[in-house]
Amino acid sequence: MIKNHNVLMLSGKGGVGKSTISAAIALHFALKGKKTLVLSTDPAPSLSNIFGINLSNKISDIKENLYGIEISGDEIIKKWKEKFGNDIYAVMRAFADVDYSIVEYIGTAPGIEEEFMLDYIMKIAKSKNFDIIIWDTAPLGNTLKLLSMPSKFITHLNFATKVYTKFYKKNSTKSIYEIIDEWKVLSEQITKFLKEDVCLMAVCIPENLAVYQTKKLLCEFKEHNITVQKVIINNVIRKDVCDSKFMLKKFEIQKQYIEKIKNGHDDVAEISLFEEITEENLIKISREIFKDEI
Ligand SMILES: Nc1ncnc2c1ncn2[C@@H]1O[C@H](COP(=O)(O)OP(=O)(O)O)[C@@H](O)[C@H]1O
Ligand SMILES: [Mg+2]
């Protein structure tokens, strides 16, 4: 399932278990001897809690073969400024009398944060410092926005070039075109990276609303030409642990929703509801995901 992919991305609504399952998958690979990075881009990260260690925006050790990092949008913007700020400044200086708005326009491109978030992750992936990266994403809407960004960004840049040409065609400098071109190339690389290297897994829970949301999610990803490889249904109650009428009823209700989610997707994993999340249970979770696939 993860063949040809070195990034596994977990997407889903808040609270469905993305971070828990990311941690379980990361632990699984680390225990298999793969150099693993678990990375969170959720503004409200929880990997630190799960591993009982303070993760930051710098890659740090969690245990043998396992590394973690939590990065936020603000840090990405900062990195973006470090990377392109000088370019923009150089262009500005070359046009002392130029209206700043054109550079502002480029700098406020829709999704610049998402774009450079993807760039950042792509760079880590391409650096080959890790055998596998497990990416615990922000809740749903943000992820969709993130994934649709490279193509929107390219459109924006094409338009920026047109505006720029219209106003400044008398000028001979090329540097701003070069910068725009560089960004376009970046967007194209990211689009390719998402298609070829990233394996997307959707996490949900067996509830009425979740069935509808998961179907909608799968459609939306499809519209963006991104395939959801695996659907993970979390918090599944097993019949053998039902020791009350209430639990049995809950089990029966879940069963219907699980069938509905399964209907229309071949690769579905069911994760049991545990009393609490311990390292031992994280390993059990990873077994439920991978069975004997890897
Ligand atoms: N299979 C499970 N069994 C028991 N508790 C779970 C399970 N999966 C997640 N949880 C708990 O549910 C809560 C939300 O999970 P979390 O992984 O933080 O969700 P998300 O990252 O999607 O917001 C946490 O308290 C977590 O410990
Ligand atoms: Mg989380």
Mutate to test the pocket of ligand 1, among 38, 233, 277, 281 (most ligand atoms within 8 A of CB): 277
Q: What angle do CA 124, 155, 188 make, to 5 degrees?
A: 30
Q: Note the pLDDT of residue 244.
A: 96
Distance 89 CA to ligand 2 centre (A): 37
Query: What would the mean pLDDT of 259-275 be, rounded to a whole number?
Result: 92
Q: What is the number of the ligand 1 atom nearest to the C-alpha of 273?
A: 3
Closest alpha carbon to 6 in 45, 33, 37, 31: 37
Residue 193 CA to residue 175 CA, distance in Å, equals 27
Alpha-carbon distance of 199 to 5, in angstroms, equals: 6
DSSP secondary structure code for residue 7 in this structure: E
Residue 10 φ/ψ, nearest 5 degrees? -105, 125
Pick the CATH number of 7-72+117-147+198-290 from 2.40.30.110, 3.40.50.300, 3.40.50.970, 3.40.50.20: 3.40.50.300
**pLDDT per residue over 41-53, tens digit each?**
887 788 999 999 9
- Residue extents of the structural domains in the chain: 7-72+117-147+198-290
Mean pLDDT of 192-208: 88
The mean per-residue pLDDT over the stretch 204-221 comes to: 84
* For the CA of 271, the nearest atom of ligand 1: 1
What is the chain's mean pLDDT, rounded? 81
Q: Decide: 15 in ligand 1 pocket, CB within 6 A.
A: yes
The answer to whether 64 and 36 are in contact (CB under 8 A) is no
| Ligand in closest contact with the CA of 25 | 1
pTM over 0.75: yes
Q: Which of 152, 151, 133, 153 is nearest to 71 (CA)?
A: 133
Residue 40 Cβ inside 6 Å of ligand 1? The answer reads no
The response to whether residue 19 sits with its C-beta less than 6 Å from ligand 1 reads yes
Neighbours of ion ligand 2 (CB under 5 A): 18-19, 42, 46
For the chain, the first-to-last Cα distance in angstroms comes to 8
Evaluate: CB of 17 within 6 angstroms of ligand 1.
yes
Q: Taking a C-beta distance cutoff of 8 angstroms, is the pair 149, 111 a contact?
A: yes
HSE-CB of 169 using CA atoms within 13 angstroms: 4
So what's the pLDDT on residue 96? 47
Give per-residue pLDDT as tens, 66-115: 999 998 777 776 776 677 666 665 555 555 455 555 555 555 555 666 67
Which ligand places an atom closest to the C-alpha of 49?
1
How far is ligand 1, taken at its centre, from the CA of residue 144, in Å? 21
Closest ligand to C-alpha of residue 241 is 1
Place of tokens 């700098």: 107
| Cα–Cα nearest to 39, from 12, 16, 62 | 62
Tell me if 286 sits within 8 A of 27, measured CB to CB.
yes
- Please, what is the angle between helix 245-262 and helix 208-223, to 10°? 20
In angstroms, the CA 228 to CA 177 distance is 36
Highest mean pLDDT among 114-123, 157-166, 172-181, 193-202: 193-202
Top pLDDT among 5 and 113 is at 5
From ligand 2's centre to the CA of 209, what distance in Å? 19
